[in-house]
């Protein structure tokens, strides 16, 4: 059975993948579904869901909640994916170098990594965003800065164990250069754990971004889910829908990403799977 | 034969649908009497371990019993529920496994682990348990039992742990002892001791022994009767002497013929020339510890010197931890030696930087032990072989063409170049490994236990291949092995290593005829099945001449 069929036979992963595809479709269709700016006041303030012409109701200023969620999806996905890529770009090379060369280099890189790990990641993200002014770029940067250390640790571990494999020894013996060995011999064999970790990191990044926006540290020009939850929280008793629906959107997205991540993990590491004994 | 202890009749074990054959074991019948040792022999995948697992009731969930019966002293074992089976295990059936390093609980003292055997079966009072544990430790020949009961497994050597496992297996005086490759992970001298111990306990207690092994030498040492398995079917059974001397089935004949003889072939005459590899005063010391711990020093290689002529094979033999692998890796500078000279033809490589060394890498290549770990699973076979020449500046398409020729040279179809390593068997992968080593046209090949992971018939083919390539290309080979039989067949000269030093070096025939050093004599005496196989091969050569 290959990895793809194993993934397809995992019901949770398929549900997660379905949700993700739906989300991507929403992002792509956003200009058609809600061509107007989500910031525009379109109706009576605090209109209940389904009461007027608005599916999910309106917020305290009469803005359409559904339009906010659809446009917010784009920001959430964008920040989740881009910050994960940036975190991988920092974490993978550092981990590879530390694991491959070992010794003093390993010590230096790992102490540097631990330095970041000793600071609570959310607090560090807040500080970075506050210093740099909240823009899309600074938020991506802040999330990436707090999420690369686990990547480095993972990759270092993989490199440490793969480096002593006989095929790597063989590559040294035939005279391949060190960068070639790292890129063609070892890195392709660490892809599986990288993919799994990345899918889970996207979920964490979306949560982090929402938390930042909730605290009012989001990009003020962008409608995001976290901002919507934060803005509606003072009216949670009389207008629950303003916070509730963006919250559901965050919940479903993170859940979907976790399900897909688990599914990929099981598909790529079939031996680690809990055996179903019957 | 006295009373039957184990009676297996018409036993078939079915495999899941995706497997390469339908039955792990098909219609197998054999029996073991009290005080008798029956060896189940076969190559990997023959179903010999499944047989042992079936008797213990420990089959993997995917394997099911399709037909047959297993009776222990007249009682049917198949169909017993887990609780009854648990009562039987340990009590009526004792077990010893292959890996002495992992079959003991690292967090429990030896005495407690043996005591647990009694506790699990509700036997003896706690005080009596300790006394019995001491007796058992004494019986399996471990020194200072009062001390041994208090130590943890990591404080014991592999052989000592296997003795503890045997003490546990025999604690409740089982009627049947199942030993699944119990000596495969051990050194040859330890193996000889363990085999003697199992044999002595069998005769003293009248235990029936089901012994699973792939090694005909071990069979000759210990078995009363042999069951030969091929692809899950019994192809021959009989008395050990009869089967070894006059095997009737073709497969058995082939297996026995493939066991390398301890009698070396006629020495070859070699032209004197500049040595292809010369090592002088090589040393390597491992230091452990860091900032806080006080370091421990182990001299893995201590002042080792030798040279190999073009076309010559020098064997480096010794037990695990003797430093033979470290020497091999130091020659390629995969491990940095602390001191000494390494000269390849006329070039001394010991002081070079890795960058300078890269240009000279093609002179010396390595064949690795594990055919499953030595090929990158994500690259096609052709690219794996072409990597060396490409790294040395040959353009890719030429290197790929050359890779196909090399595959042909090592006896594989050139089309194999487009496939991936997992599509090949262990022996085929080892051929790919050899093709990779040859791709750079080296003057020296270091073969580190290159045939140890292979079945005996495949092993013979790979040895032939190495010999043939050596004749054709006149490479010098440093052949590192723990197996004296293999060394006898392929090496021109042999260096015996013990604790990092070469204690004796001589031409193969001379070394086997008149071993000078005590340690060499001990190693030679410990080779299992020494008499039996010396005999078969003499008669065989008589037939031929």
DSSP 3-state assignment of B375? coil
Counting other chains too, the contacts that A257-260 makes at CB distance below 8 Å and 24 or more residues apart are: A257/A16, A257/A20, A257/A80, A257/A199, A257/A200, A257/A202, A257/A203, A257/A206, A258/A16, A258/A200, A258/A203, A259/A12, A259/A13, A259/A15, A259/A16, A259/A17, A259/A19, A260/A13, A260/A16, A260/A17, A260/A20, A260/A199
Residue identified by tokens 């032990």 is B369
- The C-alpha atoms of residue B104 and residue A74 are separated, in whole angstroms, by 56
Examine residue B169 and state whether it is found in any structural domain, yes or no.
yes
| Domain end (from B234, B262, B290) | B262
The reply to whether residue B332 touches residue A173, judged by beta carbons under 8 angstroms, is yes
- The C-alpha atoms of residue B163 and residue A162 are separated, in whole angstroms, by 34
B88 with B224, same domain? yes
B403 reaches A (C-beta below 8 A): no
B197 with B283, same domain? no
DSSP structural state of residue A269: -
**By the 8 A CB rule, do B105 and B153 touch?**
yes
Examine residue B543 and state whether it is found in any structural domain, yes or no.
no
B41 reaches A (C-beta below 8 A): no
- Antiparallel, parallel or unpaired: β B64-72 and B37-41: unpaired
Nearest to A65 by CA among A255, A249, A251, A256: A249
The C-alpha angle with vertex B50 and arms to B45 and B53, in degrees rounded to 5, equals 155
Q: Which residues in chain A touch residue B388, judged by CB atoms under 8 angstroms apart?
A: 174-176
Assign domain A3-270 to its CATH superfamily: MetI-like (1.10.3720.10)
Pick from A166, A174, A184: CB nearest B368 = A166
**By the 8 A CB rule, do B41 and B249 touch?**
no
Examine residue B536 and state whether it is found in any structural domain, yes or no.
no
B60 with B114, same domain? no
Pick from A172, A178, A278: CB nearest B334 = A172
Nearest to A201 by CA among A137, A248, A154, A138: A154
B227 with B299, same domain? no
Pick from B61, B374, B391: CB nearest A167 = B374
CA-based nearest residue in chain B for residue A172: B334
B234 with B281, same domain? no
Rounded to a whole number of angstroms, the distance between the first and last alpha carbons of chain A is 20
Q: List B residues 427-446 in contact with A (Cβ-Cβ < 8 A).
A: 433, 436, 439-440
The reply to whether residue B375 touches residue A189, judged by beta carbons under 8 angstroms, is no
Pick from B357, B359, B374: CB nearest A170 = B374
ipTM above 0.85, yes or no: no
B135 with B247, same domain? no
Examine residue B270 and state whether it is found in any structural domain, yes or no.
no
CATH assignment at residue B11: 3.40.50.300
B355 with B479, same domain? yes
Predicted confidence at residue B288, as pLDDT, reads: 66
Per-residue model confidence as pLDDT tens digits over A86-122 = 999 999 999 999 999 988 999 999 999 999 999 898 9
Can you give the residue range of the structural domain that contains B116? 99-173
Preferred mutation among B352, B369, B387 to probe A, highest tally of A CBs within 10 A:
B387
Nearest to B539 by CA among B330, B244, B140: B244
The residues, any chain, with a CB within 8 Å of residue A194's CB and separated by 6 or more, are A88, A92, A151, A154, A155
The reply to whether residue B387 touches residue A173, judged by beta carbons under 8 angstroms, is no
Q: Which residues in chain B touch residue A169, judged by CB atoms under 8 angstroms apart?
A: 334, 366, 368, 374
**By the 8 A CB rule, do B88 and B80 touch?**
yes
Preferred mutation among B354, B376, B392, B444 to probe A, highest tally of A CBs within 10 A:
B376
The reply to whether residue A175 touches residue B361, judged by beta carbons under 8 angstroms, is yes
The reply to whether residue B387 touches residue A177, judged by beta carbons under 8 angstroms, is no
Q: Which residues in chain B touch residue A176, judged by CB atoms under 8 angstroms apart?
A: 387-388, 391
**pTM for the whole thing?**
0.81
B434 with B478, same domain? yes
B387 reaches A (C-beta below 8 A): yes
CA-based nearest residue in chain B for residue A165: B373
DSSP structural state of residue A135: -
Would you write out chain B's pLDDT as a tens digit for each of its 545 residues? Answer: 457 899 999 999 988 877 778 888 889 999 999 999 999 998 888 888 889 889 988 888 888 888 899 999 888 888 888 888 888 888 889 888 887 777 888 898 998 888 888 888 877 788 888 888 898 888 888 888 888 888 898 888 888 888 898 888 888 888 999 998 888 878 888 888 889 888 988 888 889 999 999 888 889 889 999 999 998 899 899 998 888 888 889 999 888 888 888 888 888 877 778 899 999 999 998 876 555 556 667 788 999 999 999 999 999 998 888 889 899 999 999 988 998 999 998 889 888 888 889 888 989 999 998 888 889 988 899 999 999 999 888 899 999 999 999 999 898 999 889 898 888 888 899 999 999 999 999 999 999 988 888 888 888 889 999 999 998 889 999 999 988 989 999 999 999 999 889 999 999 999 999 999 999 999 998 888 877 776 444 444 444 33
B257 with B350, same domain? no
Q: Which residues in chain B touch residue A171, judged by CB atoms under 8 angstroms apart?
A: 376, 387
Number of H helices, E strands in chain A: 11, 0
The reply to whether residue A174 touches residue B440, judged by beta carbons under 8 angstroms, is yes
Examine residue B268 and state whether it is found in any structural domain, yes or no.
no
Torsion of the alpha carbons at B327, B329, B333 and B337, rounded to the nearest 10: -40
Break chain A into its structural domains and give their ranges: 3-270
Pick from A167, A175, A178: CB nearest B388 = A175
Per the structure, the count of domains in chain B is 3
B376 reaches A (C-beta below 8 A): yes
DSSP 3-state assignment of B75? strand
Examine residue B267 and state whether it is found in any structural domain, yes or no.
no
Q: Which residues in chain B touch residue A172, judged by CB atoms under 8 angstroms apart?
A: 334
Q: Which residues in chain B touch residue A188, judged by CB atoms under 8 angstroms apart?
A: 376, 378-379
Range of lowest pLDDT (A232-241, A249-258, B272-281): A232-241
**By the 8 A CB rule, do B376 and B421 touch?**
yes
Phi, psi for B160 (deg, rounded to 5): -65, -40
Pick from B362, B368, B384: CB nearest A175 = B362
To the nearest whole Å, the CA of B325 is away from the closest chain A CA by 13
- The C-alpha atoms of residue B162 and residue B166 are separated, in whole angstroms, by 6
């Amino acid at each position: 059975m290959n990895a793809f069929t194993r993934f397809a036979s995992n019901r949770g992963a398929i549900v997660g993948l379905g949700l993700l595809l739906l989300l991507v479709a929403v992002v792509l269709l956003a200009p058609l579904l809600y061509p107007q700016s989500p910031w525009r006041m379109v109706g009576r303030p605090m209109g209940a869901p389904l009461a007027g012409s608005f599916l999910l109701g309106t917020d305290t200023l009469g803005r359409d909640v559904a339009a906010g969620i659809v446009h917010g999806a784009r920001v959430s996905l964008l920040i989740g994916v881009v910050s994960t890529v940036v975190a991988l770009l920092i974490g993978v090379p550092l981990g590879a170098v530390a694991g491959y060369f070992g010794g003093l280099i390993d010590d230096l890189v790992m102490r540097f990594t631990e330095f970041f790990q000793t600071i609570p990641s959310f607090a560090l993200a807040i500080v970075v965003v506050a210093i740099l002014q909240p823009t899309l770029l600074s938020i991506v940067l802040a999330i990436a800065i707090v999420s690369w250390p686990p990547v480095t640790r993972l990759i270092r571990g993989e490199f440490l164990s793969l480096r002593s494999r006989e095929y790597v020894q063989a590559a040294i013996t035939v005279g391949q250069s060190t960068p070639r060995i790292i890129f063609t011999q070892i890195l392709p064999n660490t892809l599986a754990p990288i993919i799994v970790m990345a899918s889970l990191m996207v979920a964490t990044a979306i949560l982090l971004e929402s938390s930042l926006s909730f605290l009012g540290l989001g990009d003020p020009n962008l409608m995001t889910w976290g901002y919507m939850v934060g803005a509606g929280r003072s009216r949670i008793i009389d207008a629950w829908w303003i916070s509730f629906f963006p919250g559901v959107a965050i919940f479903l997205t993170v859940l979907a990403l976790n399900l897909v991540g688990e599914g990929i993990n099981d598909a790529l590491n079939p031996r680690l799977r809990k055996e179903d004994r019957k | 034969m006295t009373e039957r202890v184990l009676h297996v009749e018409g036993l078939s074990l079915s495999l899941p649908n995706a497997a390469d054959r339908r039955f792990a074991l098909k219609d197998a019948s054999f029996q073991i009497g009290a005080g008798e040792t029956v060896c189940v022999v076969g190559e990997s995948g023959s179903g010999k371990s499944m047989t042992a697992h079936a008797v213990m009731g420990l089959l993997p969930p995917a394997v099911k019993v399709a037909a047959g019966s297993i009776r222990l002293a007249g009682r049917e074992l198949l169909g017993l529920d887990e609780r009854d089976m648990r009562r039987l295990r340990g009590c009526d059936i004792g077990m010893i496994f292959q890996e002495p390093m992992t079959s003991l609980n690292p967090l429990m003292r030896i005495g407690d682990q043996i005591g647990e055997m009694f506790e699990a079966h509700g036997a003896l009072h706690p005080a009596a348990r300790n006394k019995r544990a001491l007796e058992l430790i004494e019986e399996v020949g471990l020194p200072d039992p009062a001390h041994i009961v208090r130590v943890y497994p990591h404080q014991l050597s592999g052989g000592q742990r296997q003795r503890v496992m045997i003490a546990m297996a025999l604690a409740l005086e089982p009627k049947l002892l199942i030993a699944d490759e119990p000596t495969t992970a051990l050194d040859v001298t330890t193996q000889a001791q363990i085999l003697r111990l199992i044999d002595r306990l069998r005769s003293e207690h009248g235990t029936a022994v089901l012994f699973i092994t792939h090694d005909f030498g071990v069979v000759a040492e210990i078995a009363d009767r042999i069951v030969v398995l091929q692809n899950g079917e019994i192809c021959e059974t009989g008395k050990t002497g009869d089967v070894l001397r006059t095997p009737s089935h073709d497969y058995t004949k082939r297996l026995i013929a493939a066991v390398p003889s301890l009698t070396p072939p006629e020495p070859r005459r070699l032209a004197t020339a500049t040595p292809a590899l010369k090592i002088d005063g090589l040393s390597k010391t491992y230091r452990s510890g860091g900032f806080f711990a006080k370091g421990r020093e182990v001299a893995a290689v201590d002042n080792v010197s030798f040279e190999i002529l073009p076309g010559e094979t020098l064997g480096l033999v010794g037990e695990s931890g003797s430093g033979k692998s470290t020497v091999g890796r130091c020659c390629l500078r995969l491990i940095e030696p602390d001191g000494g000279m390494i000269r390849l033809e006329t070039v001394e490589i010991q002081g070079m930087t890795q960058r300078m060394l890269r240009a000279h890498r093609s002179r010396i290549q390595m064949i690795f032990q594990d055919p499953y770990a030595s090929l990158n699973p994500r690259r096609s076979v052709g690219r794996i072989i072409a990597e060396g020449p490409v790294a040395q500046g040959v353009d890719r398409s030429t290197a790929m063409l050359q890779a196909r020729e090399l595959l042909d040279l090592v006896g594989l179809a050139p089309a194999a170049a487009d496939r991936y390593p997992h599509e090949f068997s262990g022996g085929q992968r080892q051929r790919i490994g050899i093709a990779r080593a040859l791709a750079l046209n080296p003057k020296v090949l270091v073969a580190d236990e290159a045939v140890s992971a292979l079945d005996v018939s495949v092993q013979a083919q790979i040895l032939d291949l190495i010999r043939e390539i050596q004749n054709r290309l006149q490479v010098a080979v440093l052949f590192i092995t723990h197996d004296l039989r293999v060394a006898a067949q392929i090496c021109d000269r042999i260096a015996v290593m013990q604790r990092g030093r070469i204690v004796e070096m001589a031409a193969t025939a001379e070394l086997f005829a008149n071993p000078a050093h005590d340690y060499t004599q001990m190693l030679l005496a410990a080779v299992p099945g020494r008499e039996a196989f010396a005999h078969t091969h003499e008669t065989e050569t008589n037939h031929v001449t």
